[in-house]
Amino acid sequence: MDEQKLKDNIEVLEIKLHQLRNDYMLTKNDHENSTKKYLELVSQLSEKNKELEILKDSLEILVAERTGELLESEENLRHKNEELQIILDSSPVLIFYKDRKDKFVRVNKSFADFFGMLHEEITKKKSKDLFPESSSKQKKDEKTVIKTGKPKLNVIEEVITHNGTKWLSIDKVPYKDSTGKIIGIIGFGFDITKSKETEEENKRLQDQLFQSQKLESIGRLAGGIAHDFNNILAVISGYSEILRTYTKDLDPKMTKAVKAISDSSKRASKLTKQLLSFARRGRFNPVALDLNRLISDTVKVSEKIFEKKVTVRYDLDDDIKSVEGDKNQIIQVVTNLVINAKDAMPDGGLIEIKTRNVHVTKKQLKEFPELNPGEYVQLSISDTGVGIKDEVKQRIFEPFFTTKKEGIGTGLGLATTYGIVRHHRGFIDFQTRIGEGTTFTIWLPSSEKTVEDAKHKDEIIRGSATILVVDDEKSIRTLTKELLEDLGYTVLLAKDGFEALDIFCENRTRIDLVLLDMLMPKMDGRETYFKLTEIDPEIKVLIISGYIQDEKAYDVLNKGALGFIHKPYTINEISRHLSNALKN
Residues of this chain that bind another protein (CB under 8 A): 11-12, 15-16, 18-19, 22-23, 25-26, 30
Backbone phi and psi for residue 96, each to the nearest 5 degrees, phi listed first: -145, 160
Name which of 25 and 71 has its Cβ closer to another protein. Answer: 25
- CB 45 → another protein: shortest distance, Å? 15
Name which of 22 and 213 has its Cβ closer to another protein. Answer: 22
Name which of 11 and 550 has its Cβ closer to another protein. Answer: 11
Per the document, the length of the chain is 584
CA distances from 51 to 38, 42, 43, 44 (A): 19, 14, 12, 10
* CA 523 to chain CA centroid, nearest Å: 43
Which residues, in sequence order, are CB contacts of 424 under 8 Å at separation 6+?
A: 286, 323, 324, 325, 326, 329, 330, 444, 445
- CB 18 → another protein: shortest distance, Å? 7
DSSP 298: H
Name which of 11 and 207 has its Cβ closer to another protein. Answer: 11
Which residues, in sequence order, are CB contacts of 510 under 8 Å at separation 6+?
A: 466, 490, 492
- CB 2 → another protein: shortest distance, Å? 19
Q: DSSP E strands: which ranges in 135-216?
A: 152-161, 164-176, 182-191
Name which of 37 and 126 has its Cβ closer to another protein. Answer: 37
Pairing verdict, β 466-470 and 513-517: parallel
Burial call 336-350: b when 16+ CB within 10 Å, e when fewer: bbbbbbbbbbeeebb
Q: At what angle do helices 497-506 and 525-535 cross, to 10 degrees?
A: 20
- CB 51 → another protein: shortest distance, Å? 21
Name which of 22 and 580 has its Cβ closer to another protein. Answer: 22
H or E segment to which residue 198 belongs: helix 193-245
- CB 6 → another protein: shortest distance, Å? 15
Name which of 7 and 56 has its Cβ closer to another protein. Answer: 7
Per the CB < 8 A criterion, the answer to whether 380 and 317 are in contact is no
Name which of 22 and 35 has its Cβ closer to another protein. Answer: 22
**Residues 510, 508: Cα–Cα separation, whole Å:** 5
H or E segment to which residue 354 belongs: strand 349-360
**Residues 127, 172: Cα–Cα separation, whole Å:** 14
- CB 40 → another protein: shortest distance, Å? 11
Name which of 20 and 205 has its Cβ closer to another protein. Answer: 20
- CB 39 → another protein: shortest distance, Å? 15
- CB 14 → another protein: shortest distance, Å? 9
- CB 21 → another protein: shortest distance, Å? 9
- CB 178 → another protein: shortest distance, Å? 55
Name which of 30 and 228 has its Cβ closer to another protein. Answer: 30
- The candidate with the shortest Cα–Cα distance to 578, out of 527, 515, 526, is 515
Could you please report the per-residue DSSP string of 246-283?
Answer: TGGGS-HHHHHHHHHHHHHHHHHHHHHHHHHHHTT-S-
Backbone phi and psi for residue 536, each to the nearest 5 degrees, phi listed first: -135, 100
- CB 29 → another protein: shortest distance, Å? 8
Name which of 25 and 39 has its Cβ closer to another protein. Answer: 25
**Residues 259, 237: Cα–Cα separation, whole Å:** 10
